[in-house]
Structure 1
């Protein structure tokens, strides 16, 4: 989602731009290859990747710009900002490519643990920095232009006797709010760090695969039991907990007006009051879950793609 433009990619190679306000298709093209991750864009360039490691870039009108190949399958939607296209590959590498021609500017790599969750976090960009979560529970700040490491911090520390017990991966996008960056790890904790230096502000023991989102008061997280938690953004103190959706296999949360939205395993969108955690509404979709945590447009419209291939946009009433 970039402004009022939504870019959507399908596994069959379809790439399209949709007007977020009307749902009207602006353009639709065939990339010519099967796509393995969603689209990433900055308003002038949109990038997608394949399971063969191909990265394809198009302009805002869908015209091809360039194509390059990285080391393995592209596993997370690209991020595009400040002349750099960031790509995550299945072998644990992160590539910074030039937005103008696709040439490699830098490569970041760290060794993956023997066993990881196949749920790739991607990264968040702010003030020329890239914040990314890793397998093994690290949050790393890179210089977007050079790939140099500014700092790294532990969101979670692997524990246990078996490799399964020691999985502690950051599996969702970090959230940048009020000069701090927050992240959550599976079998770990949710933690917020000072943005520039990476100093820990606070942490709570919470395990999650599904992501976090924040407003001006709270950080919202869906834990691995399916409960929705609201934590004070400044201190981590609990504000409320909604556990009535625990058996519905809900995904990552998103802000929809004054409410919080989550999509469950059967495609229902559930709306939660952000003040007290009460359930205030439900909407049926096509019966399939969201492919990823919903995005949001500047007017507060939540946008997501279902596993059946339908694109949805829901705003506040």
Structure 2
């Protein structure tokens, strides 16, 4: 059972997973439900590994690399926080927060923020010195967002709070109702201009004013459907992505679509189920769905440009546009490179053999991935 598909309900978890590990009489796995074998193909892109840094295991959490200037900040579940020179791969410094970490990393405005167990929130400066520490209302799984002098976080009780980036003083809190069931997931927050975009359980994405946390607009990305609460889980997943005047997002058991950045009005939506979010470039919106299909939608109107279903059940990361390729990680630590134009395989590289669930990031001309076991690896296309 992959981390984000776990629900805040033991009964629901058993329904989703079958609880086969608890049943000595459970039947053998259906071969048709096993991860698809790797497809053989002739590589047409040369991918070179530039450097690799071992950070530490993510355990049962998801830690996304964060880019600030030319530096990359990464964290691990044991409390490790590392600043890496994005060009050379040199570890500039390595510290430990002193507690297990559950969420991070947020980076920006010369500040690095991570979330610790039981809702602790830590802010460090770029030298790794602790700036402040505060206690949130509950566990934090999503990476904090930074902008306009604020650190914005969402805790698992569905409270969105903003803190002064220098002092840690609380500025405001916006509390939203919780649905009966939700994914134990890492829905993203993104500061854009004078508002913060927040992916939420129940299929909603909201824009809150940075000044006071008031609601600007609320968009329905995933519409809960079905007769049971389990069937009606439709949480928005991954990080909302802004391009031009649009913000694009996707949801579990819901839809993918792009919405007006100022009003939340839908530009277009298509049915899909994804736990990992979207990425966008000047032409396409990319997403990986729950069955392992990578799809490119045309940004103008949302029509399907291409689909690649040869990675079925390989528990994919969110894809990202990388030059003439679209890069996506899988459960065995492979990074697959698909043609941006038609979705065909053009390259593949291995990492440490553990899952790549955190969305890869592009740092300049390099692709950065972080694995579950804690390898942070930079690749370049030659």
Say whether the fold is shared (TM-score over 0.5).
yes
Alignment equivalent of 1:150, drawn from 196, 216, 222: 216
The answer for the alignment partner of 2:165 in structure 1 is: 99
CA contact (8 A) 1:35 1:48 kept: yes
The answer for the alignment partner of 2:284 in structure 1 is: 218
The answer for the alignment partner of 1:306 in structure 2 is: 371
Measure, in 1, the Cα distance between the counterparts of 2:381 and 2:323: 5
**Is the aligned partner of 1:283 residue 2:340?**
no
Measure, in 2, the Cα distance between the counterparts of 1:196 and 1:90: 26
Cα distance 1:107–1:300, how it changes in 2: closer, same or farther (>3 A)? farther
* TM-score of the aligned structures, taking structure 1 as reference length: 0.97
The higher radius of gyration belongs to 2
**Is the aligned partner of 1:29 residue 2:95?**
yes
Measure, in 2, the Cα distance between the counterparts of 1:135 and 1:91: 10
Measure, in 2, the Cα distance between the counterparts of 1:77 and 1:193: 22
CA contact (8 A) 1:84 1:145 kept: no
Q: What is the RMSD computed on CA atoms of the aligned residues?
A: 1.1
Could you tell which deviates more after superposition, 271-280 or 304-313? 304-313
Measure, in 1, the Cα distance between the counterparts of 2:160 and 2:352: 34
* TM-score of the aligned structures, taking structure 2 as reference length: 0.81
User: Any unmatched runs of 5+ in structure 1?
Assistant: none
**Is the aligned partner of 1:67 residue 2:133?**
yes
- Deviation of 1:43 after TM superposition, in Å, equals 4.2
Q: Work out the number of aligned pairs and report it.
A: 316
Structure 1 runs (4+) greater than 4 angstroms displaced: none
- Deviation of 1:255 after TM superposition, in Å, equals 2.1
User: Any unmatched runs of 5+ in structure 2?
Assistant: 1-66
Measure, in 1, the Cα distance between the counterparts of 2:268 and 2:189: 21
* More contact order relative to length (CA 8 Å, sep ≥ 6): 2
How is 1:123-134 mapped onto 2 (pairs within 5 angstroms)?
123-134=189-200
Cα distance 1:291–1:221, how it changes in 2: closer, same or farther (>3 A)? closer
